[in-house]
A = this chain, B = another copy of it.
Amino acid sequence: MASEKIPYKTYLEEKEMPLRWYNVRADMKNKPAPLLNPGTLKPMTVDELSAVFCRELAEQELDDTTPYFDIPDEIRDFYRMYRPSPLVRAYFLEKALGTPAHVYYKFEGNNTSGSHKLNSAIAQAYYAKKQGLRGVTTETGAGQWGTALSMACSYFGLDCKVFMVKVSYEQKPFRREVMRTYGADVTPSPSMTTNIGRKINEEFPGTGGSLGCAISEAVEAAVGSDGYRYVLGSVLSQVLLHQSVIGLETKAAFDKIGVKPDVIIGCAGGGSNLGGLIAPFAGEMLRGENQYRIIAVEPASCPSLTRGRYVYDFCDTGKVCPLAKMYTLGHDFIPSPNHAGGLRYHGMSSVVTQLYDDGYIEATSVEQNDVFDAAVRFARVEGILPAPESSHAIKVAMDEALKCKETGEEKNIVFGLTGTGYFDLVAYQKFNDGALSDYVPTDEDLARGFATIPEVNP
């Protein structure tokens, strides 16, 4: 293996790091449908959005024509703390699978938040600071976003209030401690500190919570406090814009080693990692310059793309956020306590949604035990303990590599290894004990979620 020309890890030099984020919407003919004001059902304006989000983020959210945004110096400085992330050639995995495919992964886990989430967290904290805010509120599922935001807020001296999905809060006690170490307040959601939290606790006693519910609580807490805004770690187009740094680095690294990827695979919860990873590649497809096969992988327990509906829906359980047109399972869909907490969102980024609907992206879903089996096999040969979320992509990348073994094709496969599983050991323990359950919602389960979709749709 030592004689291979392509290095195990390709790092860009600092001067090769992206100077601008790429806004894939600028190249989309079919733009994502606009966010709607939940009161008027008319498209949200920047002014309306600015009541919830920082002003510059609201502008980014609604801008579907500007192709590039300069990355402010302060953010580029921070990126140098943990970026560029490596593009890794998975030689060990290839050997273990006996595949002729060349497998790569973009590894975003080498920072203390443990995932790619920091890329957008630092951007959102920067704009909040620039606007002179006291702090921000947010929700977190697996805890990766909350940790990332805590780090970012600590860096800029901002208050950080995190509502953490209760099931993750209980499964990941140490996540809370990392956030506290970075100075954040962490509250399990649904909590008794907000109206929506109290209402959900009353309606569903003992619920493990959901991202949709935690979002509502965080928005309520922001709107009700002076000098605070709400920030979100996924789903939004502004987040995909910031996360384009993943794809831009990936593209630059592939160019550096002279490789063109054939298949690009990412796990998909709200779409932040997938949307960021594929951005420049999808741009080339949209502009007719190149072809790639792009696969979104979601958990069978929360299958918004593969079994959801493409309609307007609320982004949150409490209906306080704008409506988005997206693949959704219904805003009241509360998935089973799947351990991939970051993939338990009922909806999907409207950008990813539109690209999927237009045929640029395929989607597939995988079950939890298969995912952990792939995770353990990967960990043993590649030496990285992956997050369960990331392992959805690993599972499908391995499947694709094994197909190449059958056909003899030397495809270049790349997947997003979004994060590490150091805080997912409860789930790993269950898997190691053979006590992890698969769960696939029945059609009746889904029907209950769909019944909550509002009548906004034609």
List the B side residues contacting A92 at CB < 8 Å. 81
Q: Is the CB of B8 within 8 A of A177?
A: no
Nearest B residue (CB) for A81: B383
Please report the C-alpha to C-alpha distance between residue A381 and residue B182 in the assembled complex, in whole angstroms.
10
Determine whether A439 belongs to the interface, using a CB cutoff of 8 Å to chain B: no
Q: Contact at B11–A383, with CB atoms within 8 Å?
A: no
> Are the CB atoms of A77 and B2 closer together than 8 Å?
yes
B-side contacts of A428, CB under 8 Å: 177-178, 181
Residues of B within 8 A of A11 (CB): 11
A118 to B384, CA, bound (A): 12
Inter-subunit contact B112/A385 (CB<8 Å): yes
Cα distance A426–B178 when bound, in Å?
10
Assembled-state Cα–Cα distance A385/B82 (Å): 12
Q: Given the known A-B contacts A92-B81, A151-B383, A155-B381, are A432 and B8 also in contact in the complex, defined by CB atoms under 8 Å? A: no
Chain B residues with CB under 8 Å of A422's CB are 114, 174, 422-423
Q: Does A76 contact B (CB under 8 A)?
A: yes
Binary interface encoding of chain A residues 32-75 relative to chain B, with 1 for a CB under 8 A from any of its CBs, else 0: 00000000000000000000000000000000000000000100
Residue of B nearest to A430 (CB): B177
Residue of B77, B80, B383, B426 near A82 (CB, 8 A) is B383
B80 and A8: CB pair below 8 A?
yes
Q: Which residues of B contact A440 (CB under 8 A)?
A: none
**A385-420 toward B: CB 8 Å interface, digit per residue (1/0)?**
100000000000000000000000000000000001
Asked whether A7 is an interface residue with its Cβ less than 8 Å from the other chain, the reply is yes
Contacts of A425 in B (CB 8 A): 173-174, 177-178
User: In the complex, A429 Cα to B180 Cα: how many Å?
Assistant: 8
Interface residues of A in 169-198 (CB under 8 A from B): 173-174, 177-178, 180-183
Q: How far does the Cβ of A135 sit from chain B's closest Cβ, in whole Å? A: 16
Provide the residues of chain B in CB contact with A380, threshold 8 Å. 151, 154-155, 182-183
Query: Which one of A11, A111, A174, A426 has the greatest number of beta carbons of chain B within 10 Å?
Result: A174
Which of A106-124 touch B at CB < 8 Å? 110-112, 114, 118
A284, CB-defined interface residue at 8 Å: no
Judge if A13 is at the interface, Cβ distance under 8 Å: yes
Closest B residue by C-beta to A107: B110
Which residues in B have their C-beta under 8 angstroms from that of A379? 112, 181-182
Q: A381 contacts which chain B residues (CB < 8 A)?
A: 155
Q: How many chain A residues touch B (Cβ–Cβ < 8 Å)?
A: 47
- Cβ contact within 8 Å between B110 and A77: no
A382 at the interface (CB under 8 A from B): yes
Q: Does A14 contact B (CB under 8 A)?
A: yes
Q: Which of A133-177 contact B (CB under 8 A)?
A: 151, 154-155, 173-174, 177
The residue from B14, B112, B181, B420 contacting A432, defined by CB atoms under 8 A apart: B181
CB distance from A16 to the nearest CB of B (A): 11
Q: Which residues of B contact A2 (CB under 8 A)?
A: 73, 76-77, 80
Least distance between A371 CB and chain B CB atoms (Å): 14
Alpha-carbon gap, A428 to B423, bound state (A) = 15
Interface string of A295-329 (1 = CB under 8 A from B): 00000000000000000000000000000000000
Please determine whether B1 and A7 come into contact, CB atoms closer than 8 angstroms: no
Please give me the residue from chain B that is nearest to A150 by CB atom: B380
Interchain CA distance A376-B9 in the complex, whole Å: 30
- Give the CA-CA distance A180 to B429 in the complex, in Å: 8
The 0/1 profile, CB within 8 Å of B marked 1, for residues 78-110 of chain A is 001110000000001000000000000000001
Contacts of A1 in B (CB 8 A): 77, 80
**Shortest beta-carbon distance from A8 to chain B in Å:** 4
Task: Sample 13 A-B pairs with CB under 8 A, ordered by A number.
Answer: A7-B14, A8-B81, A82-B383, A110-B110, A112-B379, A112-B420, A118-B383, A174-B425, A178-B385, A178-B428, A181-B376, A181-B432, A422-B422
Give the top 8 A-B pairs by smallest Cβ distance, nearest first. Answer: A174-B425, A422-B422, A8-B80, A177-B425, A112-B385, A81-B383, A177-B429, A154-B380
* Chain A residues packing against B (C-beta within 8 Å): 1-2, 7-9, 11, 13-14, 73, 76-77, 80-82, 92, 110-112, 114, 118, 151, 154-155, 173-174, 177-178, 180-183, 376, 379-385, 420, 422-423, 425-426, 428-429, 432
